Each structure stands twice: as C-alpha cells, then as structure tokens.
Amino acid sequence: MDYLVQAWQSVGMESVTGEAQHHARLSDMRWAGQRIDAIGPGTLPGLARLGNLVRSVRTPEFEGITLHEVLTKSALNHVPATSAMLPGEWTINPYRGCTHACAYCFARPTHEHLGLDLGADFDNQLIVKVNLPDVLRRELATKRTLPERVAFGTNTDPYQRAEGRYQLMPPVIDALTGARVSFSILTKGSMIRRDLDRLAAAAERVNVELGMSIAFLDEELRHTLEPGAPSTAARLTTLRAMRDAGFTPTVFVAPILPHLTDSTDQIDTLIGTLASAGAGTILPTPLYLMRGVKELFFTWLRHTHQDLIPAYADLYSSGSRTPRPYQDLIRARVNRALRNHGLPLPDFTASDRFALLGKRSIPAPPTPTTPTLF
C-alpha cells in the first residue's frame, strides 16, 4: 500500500526500505534487560546487544516482516489503577506489533516504547515472546493472589498471523484454565477457530468471553484500512463457529467511520448481518484517532477520500474523539438497528466482560428501596 508507506514518512517515520538506519536504531530498543548466552544466527545487525533477544527471523511466509523472538521477563501485566484504559486489570500480550496493519489502530504508539516507530515498524517488526507460556505457568504457580480475570487483545491481536507459526495461545489457555483464572479474548483473527474446542473445554471450568472485531461489509474499504487482517467473510464464518461451539460472542463494531460507514442503512445492514451470524451483543465505537495515528489516517483519507478531509478535520479538531453530538447520533442509529434485529442494547456489563471499564469504573448495584403504598 504505497500511500500507507508515504503516511509513515509524512509524519517523520522511516521508510521500510531504510534498512541501514533501521538496524542502527534497533540496537537502542528498550526491551527488558535479561541476559541470555546465545544469539540466534538470524539476528539483524546491532540486535545482538539486546539482553533478551533470541533471534530475528525472516521467512517467505511472512514476506516483508521480521519476527524478533525474545525471552520475556513476565507474562501477566497489571495495568496501573491510574491508567486511562483498563485500570487495575490484568492483561497478557504474546506479541508486540501487529501484522493486521490497521491504519487506525490505537495501539500503534506502544511500539515507540520499544524504540520502534508507530508506522511501518508496528506492522512489520513483530516482537514474539517465545517463552511466554513457561513464564505464565511459573507466575501462576508462585503468585500469592491470582488475577480474577485476564484480558487478551487489549493491545495487539493474540490471533494474528504469527500465532499460526508460534502457537503460544493453546498452552496459555491451558495454564489459565488450570489455575481457574477467567479470561476474555478480543480478536480479528480467524485463527481462533483452531482453538475453539479448547476454549469450549475451558469454559466448563472458568468464565471465557469471546469477541470479534467486525466493522466493514465493504471489502474494498476494509482491505485498504486493514490490509493484513482476515476478510469480513472469514470473520463472519468465525463468528458462526464461536456460536456453534456454545459461545455467545460479542462483536466490536469498531471503528464506525464518519461519512463512510455511519449511515442509518449501513449500520442497520451491518448489525443485521452480525445478528444472523451469531452475535450476542454489539459494542459500537466511532473512529478514535490518537496522537500519531491521526496523521496516518488523514494521509489515508488524502489518497482515498480527499473530499472528506474538511469534515474529518472539523470532527477531530478538538482531540482524538468525535464530539458528543456525533456520538449521540451514532448511538441512536445503532440502538435502532439493535432493536430491529432483536439484539440487546449495550450497557456497562457488556464492556466489563472484556475488562474495558477497569476495576474503578464498575458501578455498584443499586440499593433496593423499601416498597411503599404511594
């Protein structure tokens, strides 16, 4: 996607062809300072100085992508109570970066914490925590207090393409199930179908919540925004498989794009399709554009829908979110469609199933009132 490469360059990021500069910068990545004795023969220049890097891999099946295999120091991540997202919750991220390459992905800036950029590097420089299942088993065996639940897919997708190569999720699912720790998984990846039998068995012992992200019926539009992600048809098939496996999956309709996928008819058609495929709950979210990601998305607009730039500039003039009146308009259209297709209106419990509200945001149940005659 030439215009996406130009987008990365336009916000001061390196070209994917700038190999020399890229390799030099990789040596400064702030990964955990663990020591290992051997560096694999596939390591890129400069990476051997990193304490926890095993090797860097390039294979024909992942053309243009480098898989950096690292030894992680921890598997369970406890989100600070002061965090704006998922405060007080526990998460697991087997991978850093994501080959789905979604132009709008809010997690892109997290790659900068590794000394990588939020553009091409996020898509093409994937960090793989190859020892994560072993570390998780050790943590679950030694922690005095185990997490009540763990959330997957809150940063990058655990069922992106690399999971087919590394198969980290099956032993992770088994470890959590054996420790009686409930978990949720949010994914775009049809790869999760491989593990549905295992997940169904886990659901007999712990609470397991499954969610799919499906926002587009227009395949051409979807492909320009999510060039590495499974097609909508593949995700709908996965949704049906989740239902057939005994789950009541939640569908995250995110992002809803202003002036592109937000009309009353478009929303109704999408939700009708999702209902027919087995969605139990719908969680809608208008497009969210944080720092850096906004520049990438506006470059995509310039190359695909230049006429919409003024409207988007106005909608996002005050920050990352659309104004409240627009959010209310979308909520009304979604709620109308949900009623039309017999689906429940989303409430805080739907978001809480995926730990989205965090520990400090769950409202207490109402206090019963004493009945009176008047």
Would residue 23 count as lying in a domain? no
pLDDT at 53: 86
The single residue listed with the structure tokens 């007999």 is: 204
291 vs 14, more confident: 291
Tokens read off for 303: 């190359």
Would residue 4 count as lying in a domain? no
Residue 111's φ and ψ, nearest 5 degrees, are -70, -25
pLDDT at 15: 35
Q: What does each C-alpha distance from 314 to 31, 75, 103, 172, 307 come to in angstroms?
A: 39, 42, 20, 44, 13
CATH number where 157 lies: 3.80.30.30
The string of pLDDT tens digits covering residues 141-187 is: 999 999 999 999 988 999 999 999 999 999 999 999 999 999 999 99
Would residue 368 count as lying in a domain? no
Is-contact 282 251, C-beta < 8 A?
yes
Would residue 27 count as lying in a domain? no
* Domain count within the chain: 1
Percent of the chain scoring above 70 in pLDDT? 82
DSSP 250: E
Would residue 370 count as lying in a domain? no
367 vs 113, more confident: 113
Would residue 152 count as lying in a domain? yes
Would residue 117 count as lying in a domain? yes
Q: How many separate helices (H) and strands (E) can be counted in the chain?
A: 14, 11
Write the DSSP string, 63-96.
TT-EEEEE--S-S-EEPPTT-SSSTT-EE--SEE
Q: Which of 187, 255, 183, 171 is nearest to 215 (CA)?
A: 255
Tokens read off for 372: 């009176």
Mean pLDDT along residues 223-234? 97
pTM, 2 dp: 0.85
> What SS3 state is found at 246?
coil
DSSP 41: T
Domain encompassing residue 163:
58-352
The string of pLDDT tens digits covering residues 100-154 is: 999 999 999 989 888 899 999 999 999 999 999 999 999 999 999 999 999 999 8
How does the average pLDDT of the chain come out, rounded? 87
C-alpha 218/C-alpha 225 separation (Å) is 11
Is the confidence at residue 369, as pLDDT, over 50?
no
Would residue 369 count as lying in a domain? no
Rg (CA), the chain: 21
